[in-house]
Structure 1
Amino acid sequence: MRLRPRTLRQIDSPIDTAYALLDRRRNGRPLLDLAQAAPQYPPAPEVVAHVAAVARDPRGSSYVEIPGLPRLREAFAAEIADAYRCRMRPGHIVVTAGCNQAFCLVASALADPGDEVILALPYYFNHDMWLRLNGIAPVYLEPGPDLAPTAEAAQALVTARTRAIVLVTPGNPTGVTVGPDELARFAAVARRHDIALVLDETYRSFRDTEEPAHDLFADPDWARTVVSLHSFSKDLAIPGYRVGAIVASEPLNREVLKLLDCVATCAPRIGQEAAWAGLTGAREWRRARVREMAERRECFLATMAGRPGGFEVLSAGGFFGWLRHPFAGRSTEDVVRELALAYDTLVLPGTAFLPDDRGTFRVSLSNADRSALTDFAGRLAVAGA
């Protein structure tokens, strides 16, 4: 009997689709890969040394407690308390196998099939995929003129079936940051309707300020509404170690732990050890990487200021640039395919992050130094000529 897999209600992985284009390249020319967002430098020396020591330890490959390595939870609680100028307890923290898993666990703990979750556009594609895969209806929140979502617009979308509002800030793919005042307004909407405000804060360290990303944790009753998701992948240059975290109420975390126990038992120990070493021993290294990324964003904006080839930057922040192509009437998938095959430049189409084609695409600035960004602008100039 032949296996007949269930047809999953999702799109194919945009990352896999993008890299599949490379199978059609035959020219052998150097590729400018601006698709997947990942640091192109190794972790801090302190992290590497600690990971090596753990690998040699007979206990280094053992399970850890389902909520996470206790000393990592304590260190991250201290990190949150410092970064947000608030009080935070380790009991509010669950360590996960990356921020993607954090979102999946939280969404599944909050919503049943047939429920609704409000997603700000452009969404992070895995959020949309997971909801649809599980029969949860994504309700799309259109951005304002500055590409930032507003609480007022979200308020109009809440129904009796709404279970959460999801924001990514700084955004993936746009890099747009939702300011503290607007986040407070989102929290007020969520509280008014007794739903969750889920903030994916993967790129919080890569904002243009060291001020707190928001003041929501200062509210003694924050856990009634706020769920904050974090990643150590970009901050500590350990994407393959798969380690992230949920900051939420203890009742929600108890439900999350039931799911985590089933799907992974616990997040990988080696990733948790690496995150602990980075949080406790690599603060200056982290600050230096943040400065480097800010310099890349400035370089990107400078090289694109003249709109080479008619390509226009709509926003830039975190690890990303969000662009509009000049080819009215052409599908973005076709434009992205041509950039890859004719101009050896790999980017992600905006259709991976939107329910329709708006002529946009994402560039990962983490993959390019100054010379690569200059090269990118030159290739766009030729492509649009």
Structure 2
Amino acid sequence: MRIAPLNPAIAGTSVPPVMEARRWLGGVTFPPDRPLINVSQAAPLDPPPEGLRRAIAEAALNDPAAHLYGPVLGMAALRAEVAAQWSRAYGGQIAENQVAITQGCNQAFCAVMVTLAGAGDEVIIPTPWYFNHKMWLDMQGVKAVSLPTGAGLIPDPQAAAALIGPRTKAIVLVSPNNPGGAEYPAETIRAFRDLARARGLVLVIDETYRDFDARTGAPHTLFTDPDWAGGGTDPGFVHLYSFSKAYRLTGHRVGAIVASTARLAEVEKFLDTVAICPGQLGQIGALWGMRNLSAWVAAERIEILARRAAISAGLVTLPGWKTLGCGAYFAYVEHPSPLPAPQFAQNLVREAGVLLLPGTMFMPVTDPAGQRQLRIAFANIDTAGIALLMGRLRALTF
């Protein structure tokens, strides 16, 4: 059906990949002895722990303020808790007024980008990219400049430097990476910060999956710089986070921005316009989780690392498959089929009862590498499920 009028920027934006993939399930039946294995989306399927659910329920029943508008930049108590815990975790100094709470991390990204770039500007993003980042830039008429990654899907700051032009406003990193799973070395992140500072750009780091990093200690040292938030000609860097994965709060949409107070003053304009304030109940749940679930989150991390080990070991046994990256919730692989990735992925639904995403959803259409690649979001299947997945992939004939 033709719609008129239609913003050409929206019309030119790709359809949501996870929703597109779900449509492949139409008309396909999955018998009880071979149910669908859905590794297309990185979202916890289980509910939060009971204590967190009770905290939300009690607030819903007994706290009248939980149903009212709150501060545009989020609850003061949650902002303060993030500032305190992040200061300890990263070894730096973060103030409460340098934290904003958003309706999920996607909104955090959109809010920050609105303050940075407008139509005709450019933002550098490594490929394979997180598709929602690319979609938002397309909607705003901002050119996403792709930065191909090297071994282990690690981006190269020198390669990024060659892409900087007069309209470049920012560089965006995601670590641990979605879709590639790569954990960027601290020295790589520092080099990107140095590049951004030298060229007057903002470095935006999405750390949605920081709670599932295989490394111990802080993943980078940027917050140890007393001037991390910038000043003068230095625009500083911006950190993004999601409470969805650590506390299973995907449906409540709670994210965070850590940035300079000047940046957040501009972010506030956007947030007030699109949401007025983040949802109160989700924030109450996130705050309760931060204060009470550190041991539980640590156990969740150990479980995800066990699944990572299981899928890494399983992929090695698949003839012709190559692991490009594996970490957090994701494995990113090359497949051996002669079919292009989108067709191969759709065939997997019918032939193997497996739903995953093709690499073309994470790459420019002009990059042939996407035709050979797939993303497997393994966090929602346990080690037994991973073994079953490997068995189905091993049984394929090409």
Among 370, 377, 380, the alignment partner of 2:383 is 370
2:233 corresponds in structure 1 to none
User: Paired residues, what number?
Assistant: 382
The AA in structure 1 aligned to 2:347 is E
Stretch of structure 1 that moved more, 144-153 or 249-258? 144-153
Q: Indicate whether 1:180 and 2:167 are aligned.
A: no
Match of 1:320 in 2: 330
Contact 1:163 1:196 in 2 (8 A): yes
Q: Matched residues, percent identical?
A: 37
Greater CA deviation, 353-362 or 227-236? 353-362
Distance in 2 separating the partners of 1:59 and 1:236: 23
Deviations 1:334-370 (CA, angstroms, capped at 9, x unpaired): 0000001221100011111111342111111111111
- Please name the residue that 2:38 is paired with: 33
Partner of 1:149: 155
- 1:44 equivalent to 2:49? Answer yes
2:268 paired with 1:260: no
- CA gap of 1:222–1:114, structure 2 versus 1, over 3 A, is same
Cα shift readout 1:270-306 (whole Å, capped 9, x = no counterpart)? 1111110110111101100000000000111122221
The within-5 A match list for 1:276-291 is 276-291=287-302
Distance in 1 of aligned mates of 2:82 and 2:247: 13
- Kindly state the Cα deviation for residue 179 of structure 1 after the two structures are TM-superposed: 1.0
Tell me whether 1:127 sits opposite 2:136 in the alignment: no
Mapped to 2, the partners of 1:220 and 1:135 lie a distance apart of 35
Whole-angstrom distance in 2 between the partners of 1:110 and 1:384: 49
> Per-residue deviation at 1:27?
4.6
Partners of 2:66 and 2:140 in 1: CA distance: 35
**2:60 paired with 1:55:** yes
Alpha-carbon separation, structure 2, partners of 1:220 and 1:60: 36
Give yes or no for the alignment of 1:347 onto 2:356.
yes
After superposition, give the CA deviation of every residue in 1:296-349 in whole Å (9 maximum; x if it has no partner). Answer: 0011112222125x3222211000011111023x21000000001221100011
Is 1:23 aligned with 2:26?
yes
CA distance in 1, matches of 2:6, 2:156: 40
Deviation at 1:59, TM superposition (A): 2.4
Structure-1 residue corresponding to 2:101: 95
In structure 2, distance between residues paired with 1:173 and 1:294: 16
Matches within 5 A, 1:219-234: 219-224=225-230, 225-234=236-245
Q: Deviations over 1:10-64 (max 9, x none)?
A: 0000010010111131354410011111123321232112111111022221111
1:6/1:364 CA distance change after superposition, 3 Å: same
Q: Report the residue type matching 2:41 in the other structure.
A: Q
Asked if the contact 1:296–1:369 (Cα under 8 Å) also holds between the matched residues in 2, the reply is: yes
Report the aligned-residue RMSD.
1.3
Contact 2:92 2:226 in 1 (8 A): no
2-structure distance, mates of 1:234, 1:370: 19
Aligned to 1:215: 221
Amino acid at match of 1:200: D
Q: Deviations over 1:103-153 (max 9, x none)?
A: 011111100110000001111000011101110011111111221001111
1:67 to 59, 65, 73: 73
CA distance in 2, matches of 1:27, 1:257: 47
TM-score of the aligned structures, taking structure 1 as reference length: 0.97
Normalising by structure 2, we get a TM-score of 0.93
